[in-house]
Structure 1
Amino acid sequence: MSRSGGRWADETIHRIMSMTKPVTGVALMMLHEEGRWRLDDPVARHIPQFADLAVATADGGRAPLARPMLMRDLVTSTAGFSMIVPLHIPLTGLVRSVPVAELYRTLDLQGGSLSRMVERLASAPLAYQPGTDFEYGVTHDLQGHLIEVLSGQTLDDFFAERIFRPLGMADTGFELDAAQRARLSTVYAWGPDGLAPSPPSVTTTDGSRGSYPSAGGGLYSTLDDYLKFARMLADGGRAGGQRLLSPASVRLMTSSLLPAGVRQHFGQRLDGLGYGVGVGVVEDPARATAMDAGYGRGTYYWTGWLGSWWWNDPASDLTVIGVTQQEGAAMAHVGLPQPGADLRALSAALVYGALMQP
């Protein structure tokens, strides 16, 4: 339902949360096509504040980097940074280094500009050596800062000018106007009496942008808008007469770039799955954790904390997008407890069960 009480409809606007990350991936690949960065560039070449980073040790000290942090580390969430975890979610079992994640909570990383966040992160140790593990989190907002540095534009303007306007995504952005806020859906969460509207203290995305545009989870969008984005990728970077990326760039973005032996890793280690630039990748369908419905090899995808999910399956020429606004409804694979049904897995079973000619 929308906030105004109207029916759920195509024009309803949702908080897509981490489904922002594939959009950030497209922006990065646009700049990659322009020669602004390469996978093996040291990150410090583009973000000088990270020239002297160190790694936290078990005894509370700091050790030097075994090698420079590279851009391939930053775009694949293997750079060594930890997660920004809400206070109501326990750190143990979710993050690689609890002390580093606790330090992040004291730094107020999301309380100012992207540049301020970079400065504060530069003072903190990494949770692990770059390229040795996967950890989801603050890395994607750093990618937003990088897009601003490389393009000379704000992230809002780059996304709007280079992605949303060419694709006709009129209802997608980091902030909503008054008319759009009237179409914003309500967020629900499970409580002792079943589903109920989520308290504002947990879901603060009321149509406002926040202190900075979050490249990791700050976008609002509609089903129709996100379908335009997803089909652009499925069509090799092209949408009608508009070409945003070359087919080669889409292939690179949607291939696993993780180092040998490193897999996606949340509350549990995910096997059979790689990670590209802002998207997960199904490398081995028979072994893929929580992806057992029939996904083809090379399927790329992502999900959002508030109950949204998407995948493109090139083997079946298939695009699927699902949206609720229910906390955790598409996140069972992460390993966090979720009292409701795994709606993402159920939708995949229905889709592939009905697909007779893959």
Structure 2
Amino acid sequence: MHNAFASRRAALAAGAALFSAAAPAAAQQGPGPNGGGSGGARRGAASNGDLVQGFSRERLGRLGPAFAREAERGSFPGCVALVARGGQIVHHEAYGHQDAAKTKRMGRDAIFLMASMTKPVTSVAAMMLVEEGRMKLSDPIANWMPELRDLKVERRRDGQAAEEVAPERPVTVQDLLRHTAGFVYASSAPSERIKNLYDEHNIEARTGPITGDEMLKRLGTIPLAHQPGTTFHYSISTDVLGLLVERVAGQRLDRVFAERIFGPLGMRDTAWHVEPAKRARLAEAPDGDPQKESMWRSYRILEDEAGRSYLKGGAGLVSTSADYFRFAQMLGNGGAFEGKRYLSAPVVRYMMSDHIQGMAGSPTASTGPGYGFGLGFGVRRQDGLAVAPGSAGDAMWAGAWGTFFTIDPEERLVAILMTQGPSSRIHTRMLFKNLVYGAMVESARGPA
């Protein structure tokens, strides 16, 4: 036992050395396409000895040992952390290993499966169309999706068989954005019947390709789990939103993203699949993670399925820390980045407002307590109650593979954690928030 403990301690010490990061160097550069270069980050912002933009370099150094402990306990092989304030990157470092076998050092340009961090991108694309007058949030989605015109709602009563009733109002564009349409994920369906129907009809494209038209046709035969506009239920709503964007824009979703978001923002490594030349940069989850095998089968990122299967607006992208920073900072800037405007500032504020007040359901399973939900993001309702620091109005979301971001407008903060560890994702995202806010020794709010 003593020898095993000594070996464990030695391994952790070696891991801590591997996970050590040079925060001062990171503060001098923003992420380019491969993790270096200016990337549009401002340089020369306020720095005072140990402080850069109100962050303590010494405290940012805590990230390395903390992540080493997580790697040692099997949460993930490694990760990339990026912290920016006021548009200046104060910390951008890679920690640990990229591969499950722990033979390859993690690089800042590593590519990660983003899973549900795809949802904010799809939400931004949808709001661009709203800004252009192509659709309104109050519009019924059946205006463009006749397959969903005859939806029913499953009504469940204790001790009685479920029955199907007419919806009290149509599903709207806003319902898709805030997950109040009545759609579900099979894994969280409130009835066994709805779960089985989602699985049997391959609604989530988990067992193989399915076109968007066919998915909508099948979805239209399955009852909603709730009356539209009454209950937040995290769901395939954003996948349906992606198909709606395609029909309104008259383009495939990958082309909409490329022309409106990825190309203009310079997000060169963000896509729906990983090209062969980039696969050596793909980060891996631990082999011991019980969710890895089943999730990998449903995230077919080594294949270009455009044209064969619908592109999941809720879960399909891969990206890097450098790329996603550009997207998140655009939102943190109120819709603009490097002189180009993507959304108006009032629209961004509106998206980052709580749109589910007074409804049943909450995003607590992903955000922890204290959060509502806006148009594509979890939104913090107040300073207290939550289980990690933040500010009222901060917006965050995360991915099932382990990625996470937060945008705190009050503190002018953008923070991104990229890792692949599905089973530990809730723990690691809260740990990251504690570390980030613990390093922020000067608040933008001023003295307490």
- Give the TM-score taking structure 2 as reference length: 0.70
Shift in alpha-carbon separation, 1:82–1:197, aligned structure 2, 3 A: closer
Q: Distance in 1 between matches of 2:327 and 2:384?
A: 28
SS of 2:406's equivalent in the other structure is strand
Q: Relative to total residues, which structure has the larger helix share, 1 or 2?
A: 2
1:343 maps to 428
Shift in alpha-carbon separation, 1:261–1:134, aligned structure 2, 3 A: closer
1:102 maps to 196
SS of 2:423's equivalent in the other structure is coil
2:348 maps to 250
Shift in alpha-carbon separation, 1:257–1:133, aligned structure 2, 3 A: same
Identity %: 37
1:311 maps to 406
Structure 2: gaps spanning 5 or more residues: 1-96, 444-448
Q: Distance in 1 between matches of 2:174 and 2:226?
A: 16
Q: Residues 128-147 of structure 1 correspond to what in structure 2 (within 5 A)? A: 128-147=226-245
Q: Distance in 2 between matches of 1:62 and 1:197?
A: 34
RMSD after superposition: 2.1
Letter in 2 for 1:320: A
SS of 1:345's equivalent in the other structure is helix
Letter in 2 for 1:69: V
* Equivalent of residue 61 in structure 1, options 132, 145, 163: 163
Shift in alpha-carbon separation, 1:266–1:115, aligned structure 2, 3 A: farther
SS of 2:414's equivalent in the other structure is strand
Letter in 1 for 2:390: Y
CA contact 2:363–2:373 (8 Å) conserved in 1: no
Alpha-carbon distance, 1:125 to partner: 0.7
Q: Distance in 1 between matches of 2:143 and 2:363?
A: 28
Shift in alpha-carbon separation, 1:127–1:261, aligned structure 2, 3 A: closer
Structure 1 or 2, whichever has the larger Rg, is 2
Shift in alpha-carbon separation, 1:160–1:83, aligned structure 2, 3 A: same
Alpha-carbon distance, 1:137 to partner: 1.8
SS of 1:343's equivalent in the other structure is helix
Q: Distance in 2 between matches of 1:267 and 1:165?
A: 33
Q: Give a deviation string over 1:108-164, Cα, whole Å, max 9, x none.
A: 122311121111000111111111111112111100100001100100100011100
Shift in alpha-carbon separation, 1:84–1:159, aligned structure 2, 3 A: farther
Q: Distance in 2 between matches of 1:75 and 1:346?
A: 28
Shift in alpha-carbon separation, 1:12–1:190, aligned structure 2, 3 A: same
CA contact 1:175–1:208 (8 Å) conserved in 2: yes
Shift in alpha-carbon separation, 1:235–1:224, aligned structure 2, 3 A: same
Moved over 4 A (4+): 265-271
Please say which of residues 165-174 and 100-109 is displaced more in the overlay. Answer: 100-109
Letter in 2 for 1:309: F
SS of 1:323's equivalent in the other structure is strand
Q: Residues 20-59 of structure 1 correspond to what in structure 2 (within 5 A)? A: 20-58=118-156, 59=161
Q: Distance in 2 between matches of 1:146 and 1:165?
A: 21
CA contact 2:381–2:393 (8 Å) conserved in 1: yes
SS of 1:274's equivalent in the other structure is strand
Please say which of residues 34-43 and 300-309 is displaced more in the overlay. Answer: 34-43
Letter in 2 for 1:277: L
CA contact 2:178–2:355 (8 Å) conserved in 1: yes
Q: Distance in 2 between matches of 1:107 and 1:163?
A: 32
Shift in alpha-carbon separation, 1:319–1:8, aligned structure 2, 3 A: same
Alpha-carbon distance, 1:310 to partner: 0.3
* Equivalent of residue 74 in structure 1, options 176, 197, 200: 176
Letter in 1 for 2:164: R
Query: Does 1:202 find its partner at 2:295?
Result: yes
1:356 maps to 441
1:91 maps to none
SS of 2:397's equivalent in the other structure is strand
2:254 maps to 156
Please say which of residues 33-42 and 301-310 is displaced more in the overlay. Answer: 33-42
Alpha-carbon distance, 1:352 to partner: 1.3
Alpha-carbon distance, 1:38 to partner: 1.3
Q: Distance in 2 between matches of 1:72 and 1:297?
A: 22
Shift in alpha-carbon separation, 1:10–1:267, aligned structure 2, 3 A: closer
* Equivalent of residue 16 in structure 1, options 114, 122, 135: 114
Alpha-carbon distance, 1:189 to partner: 5.3
Q: Distance in 2 between matches of 1:135 and 1:149?
A: 24
Q: Distance in 1 between matches of 2:255 and 2:243?
A: 13
Q: Distance in 2 between matches of 1:98 and 1:164?
A: 39
CA contact 1:184–1:207 (8 Å) conserved in 2: no
CA contact 1:188–1:327 (8 Å) conserved in 2: no
Letter in 2 for 1:346: L
Structure 1: gaps spanning 5 or more residues: 86-93, 332-341
Letter in 2 for 1:73: D
Query: Does 1:320 find its partner at 2:415?
Result: yes
